[in-house]
Amino acid sequence: SYDLDKFDQEFPLSWQLSFITSGRPVLNQRIIAKWMEAEWDMDGQVGGGLRDLNGHIVLDDFGGSWEIYRQPDPSHEYIVATDSASGMEHGDYAAARVFDRNTREIVAEHYGKIPPEMLGEQAVYAAKMYNDAYIIPEINNHGVLTVKTMLDMGYEHIHARVRDVKPGTAWTAVWGHLTTTTSKKSMVATL
């Protein structure tokens, strides 16, 4: 729609431009600049997709949508978070991140234009790889298909936003994280 600010947010030439439409940056740009300049001690691996090979999760060599910064530590607990997109060439990117609860680090991330069902599959594989991690999928819009895929795969460690489920409650009202204006303010404040 010829909105340059929106274009800069979606396809930024610098990380600073990604926050241009919000009016003020949510994240402290000086801190992020220091992080970007820092050298990280990582035993990284890059690949296109995770898959289950006879009960063992492996990373395909082809492609670069997954970046594994640290291999799973059997004594650590992990969380996988997802943000779904349509998977269309002209659409947004889908994302998944693996967070180590012990070290408080992002240890792996996926960023690619894949359909919501594939993101659900990739999140389950990542969760299995990282010690049966707890998955917190965003259920907004395309996230419904992502969560459905996770449930269809039989994965049980998925965030439920409703504790006392009454008979007849739709599964979409139970599973996944619903991002609203209120919850987004809370997330940014916590961050």
The angle that helices 116-129 and 143-152 make with each other, rounded to 10 degrees, is: 50
The rounded mean pLDDT for the chain is 87
Residue 135 has pLDDT above 90, yes or no: yes
89-99 mean pLDDT: 92
pLDDT at 95: 96
Residue 99 has pLDDT above 70, yes or no: yes
Q: What is the strand order of the sheet 45-47 is part of?
A: 45-47, 66-68, 105-112, 94-100, 78-83, 134-137
Residue carrying structure tokens 């919501």: 116
Torsion angle (degrees, nearest 10) of CA 155, 157, 161, 165 = 70
Contact 15, 30 (CB under 8 A): no
Residue 91 has pLDDT above 70, yes or no: yes
pLDDT at 28: 67
113-134 mean pLDDT: 97
DSSP 3: -
87-116 mean pLDDT: 93
pLDDT at 29: 63
Give the DSSP H or E segment for 50. Answer: strand 50-53
Identity of residue 2:
Y
DSSP 89: T
Least confident piece of the model among 61-65, 77-81, 92-96, 128-132: 61-65
**For the segment 2-60, what is each residue's pLDDT rounded down to a tens digit?**
777 677 667 777 766 665 555 556 666 667 777 777 776 667 889 999 999 999 999 99
Q: Which residue has the higher pLDDT, 151 or 170?
A: 151
